[in-house]
Amino acid sequence: MSTPFPFTAVVGQDDLRLALLLNAVSPAVGGVLVRGEKGTAKSTAVRALSALMPQVDVVPGCRFSCAPDAPDPACPDGPHEVGPGVPRPARMVELPVGASEDRLVGALDIERALSEGVKAFEPGLLADAHRGLLYVDEVNLLHDHLVDLLLDAAAMGASYVEREGVSVRHAARFLLVGTMNPEEGELRPQLLDRFGLTVEVAASREPDQRVEVVRRRLAYDDDPEGFATRWADEESDVRARIVAARKLLPSVRLGDGALLQIAATCAAFEVDGMRADIVMARTATALAAWAGRTDVLAEDVRQAALLALPHRRRRNPFDAPGLDEDKLDETLEEFAGDEDGSGAPEGLDDTDGTDGSGDSGDSDGSGDDDPDPDGPGGGGGRPPQDGSDDGGVDGGDGSGEVPAQGEAPANESENGRAPSPGAGEQSPVRAAEPFRTKVLSVPGLGEGAAGRRSRARTEHGRTTGARRPRGALTKLHLAATVQAAAPHQRARGRSGPGLVVRRDDLRQATREGREGNLVLFVVDASGSMAARQRMSAVKGAVLSLLLDAYQRRDKVGLVTFRGSAAEVALPPTSSVDAAAVRLESLPTGGRTPLAAGLLRAHDVLRVERLRDPARRPLVVLVTDGRATGGPEPVALAGRAARLFAADKVASVVVDCESGLVRLGLAGQLAGELGGTAVTLDELRADSIAGLVRDVQSSSRGNSQGNSRKAA
């Protein structure tokens, strides 16, 4: 085993080290979620912590690490007699992102259970991590059902494995640490809430500190054992301090004043449920024990809030994590009791106790509102079919778009003044409020990653049939197994009650659930979209679809086209909040290179198909269908669209055309794509209900009109 990097040699990252140590003192805190950019010592610090964990005594030969002085009475390897144990280091178990459910919770041999009546159970990673540390790198990339199992076991202190009526339970108490890079996608708020503490980490911007990081890392790489020896005394001191804090923890008193501050803080920040209050109480108690005190002070409550609340305030993936420290201080001061609330909790070093989580701020990251939404880049009307000049009727910005009736030309603002320099491109407009969208799905039956959008063959879901097992049997179809075994009972010597089941009789259940897709947004950002003041509504619609993609576990990508070319604003990713940021700053104006946008999207799908062939794509094209720029723009766009139809790529065209006179170009484009077209209004999930209300209102109006005529 390689020598781990010493925990005390990690430069900076005080909040990360403190959060890990608090969980080492009190695993009941509920684990740590470490969020931050790559290369910030997340994994290094977690692996280094395992060397500081005190040794544990285990029952000899027990695969589940039972404590010899209080063995688990339901241990599958038990029952165990109380007696002397064998000491060993606390384990650190790593859960790989691609792990299966059986690898996590353990596997039951269904064949032996049915044929021999034996509960043959092979322990999983949860059993290995009992009384140790379980580390999940890139936890945001772990399948949701595995995260649910993991967090349930961490909360209950036990793991349950059930397969077709055969059940096994074993203890599973461990320190849970997850790390993630937010750029690769967020965890759901429900899963975030299950982690006790969260820490935001970032690389230092101080040159001296960065130099020290490099110096220590190079020294460690040159001689790991020698480097660890130089830090052995500091490691021993921290290890002894953890042991002392654990012993002191039961004696720490959480007074009514501290409890009131905890409750008031959680109420002030409007966190959901009561888990935050409980975690804050346990964290504040662990902070006092770590500092060698038996009373919880206001400073402990403040530090506990900074670690336990930021991730619990997120309502959707577009909310920035963080905590308003001014508001926190005001709340603590308002509900202060006799304790002295000044100062910072004692940590590893003589630090200032800053939390490093940052402030959520009030900025939404968007540009200023456009003071002239009908400004340059506008246009409407029917474009020339061949891309040639249209007799001088032009928007004035070279876009080739014709202003609709009543609209200002593209080279003139609403008040008649000439546009400012560089006004061929409008400043970004703010997106309208998102709404709940209709369900868009890929037809057919897929086999991609688990999600919530399109039908797929999955390990979880409703049973749709049975087949002979290919490899190990995981999901038994009991009725099909009995049906296969029943005709052979007389030949097998069975004349009385009961059933003789052999391996050839076993049947694997086939199940149907839902998969996540690659939703590729292809957004028209040309002048014709901006002139009608539609870009705000269009951005709101795309934002709504992004939120829907987040909820359905999709990957998303963003291609935009305007002017003379198209660009990949965001390559396919699981981070929908990154897509929302790109969308918010999207500029508009210029011609409509529709063919270029479609060809760029087709190229993105080709590359992504090589990377993730099982994930089926859904193309969402947001446009009014007008194609301008270049020779034969409409014909070229049609040929590009037919490439998607030839590849059988599912597509939806969101028709953004408005006004009394509509050309229906988006509908024609949807036909070329082999997909469907919906308007912005039809995209809403309640559009049918709205239509019914409109019909009812119209019927009542007609009835009243007829009554007046009759009178």
CATH value at residue 31: 3.40.50.300
Q: Which of 374, 621, 654 minimizes the C-alpha distance to 522?
A: 621
Residues 483-536 have pLDDT tens digits of 888 888 878 877 777 778 887 888 888 888 888 899 999 999 887 776 556 788
pLDDT given for residue 247 in this prediction: 94
| 699, burial (CB in 10 Å: exposed 0-12, middle 13-18, buried 19+) | exposed
Which of 172, 202, 232 is the endpoint of a domain? 202
CA quadruple 679, 681, 683, 686: dihedral sign: negative
611 lies in some domain: yes
Catalytic one of 275, 455, 511, 662: 275
Is residue 405 domain-shared with residue 544, that is, in the same domain? yes
Which class for 553: exposed (0-12), middle (13-18), buried (19 or more C-beta within 10 A)?
buried
Residues 99 and 169 both lie in one domain: yes
| CATH label of the domain that carries residue 521 | 3.40.50.410
Structural tokens at position 641: 């669209």
Low-confidence ranges of the chain (pLDDT < 50): 1, 339-423, 688-699, 708-709, 711
Residue 288 sits in the same domain as residue 375: no
- Residue 636 in contact with residue 670, Cβ under 8 Å? no
Residue 356 lies in a domain: no
| Same domain as 384, residue 321 | no
- Domain residues for the domain of 97 are 7-54+90-202
Same-domain pairing of 521 and 607:
yes
Examine the domain organization and report whether 269 and 385 are in the same domain.
no
Do 95 and 125 meet the contact criterion of CB atoms below 8 Å apart? yes
- Residue 239 lies inside a defined structural domain of this protein: no
Q: Per residue in 268-294, is it b (16+ CB within 10 Å) or e — as a string?
A: bbebeeebbbbbbbbbbbbbbbbbebe
Residue 235 lies inside a defined structural domain of this protein? no
Q: Which pLDDT score is estimated for 418?
A: 37
Please give the Cα distance from 183 to 673 (Å, whole number).
Answer: 32
Are 381 and 528 part of one and the same domain? yes
Question: Which pair of tokens denotes residue 271?
Answer: 């966190």
Asked whether residue 230 is domain-assigned, the answer is: no
Residue 650 lies in a domain: yes
The answer to the question of residue 218 being in a domain is no
Please state the domain count of the chain: 4
- My answer on whether 302 and 371 are in the same domain is no
> pLDDT tens for residues 160-218?
887 666 678 889 988 889 988 877 777 777 778 888 999 988 888 889 989 999 999 99
Q: Which tokens is 30 given?
A: 């509920």
Q: Phi first, then psi: give them for residue 606, nearest 5 degrees.
A: -60, -45
User: CATH code at 301?
Assistant: 1.10.8.80
In a domain, 345, yes or no: no
What is the Cα–Cα distance from 627 to 464, expressed in whole angstroms?
A: 46
Verify that 601 and 504 share a domain, yes or no: no
The answer to whether 30 and 154 are in contact (CB under 8 A) is yes
Question: Structure tokens of 47?
Answer: 């692996």
Evaluate whether 132 touches 174 at the Cβ level (below 8 Å). yes
3-state secondary structure of 66: coil
Per-residue model confidence (pLDDT) at position 233: 92
Q: pLDDT value at position 513?
A: 85
Name the residue with tokens 């998102």. Answer: 434
Active site residue 616: no
On whether both 505 and 563 belong to a single domain, the answer is no
pLDDT the model gives residue 561: 92
Shared domain check, 399 and 317: no
Tens digit of pLDDT for each residue in 258-296? 999 999 999 999 888 899 999 999 999 999 999 999 999
- Are the CB atoms for 656 and 540 separated by under 8 Å? no
Helix (H, G, I), strand (E, B) or coil at 57: strand
Question: Quick one: 315 and 197 in the same domain?
Answer: no
pTM exceeding 0.85:
no
pLDDT at 591: 87
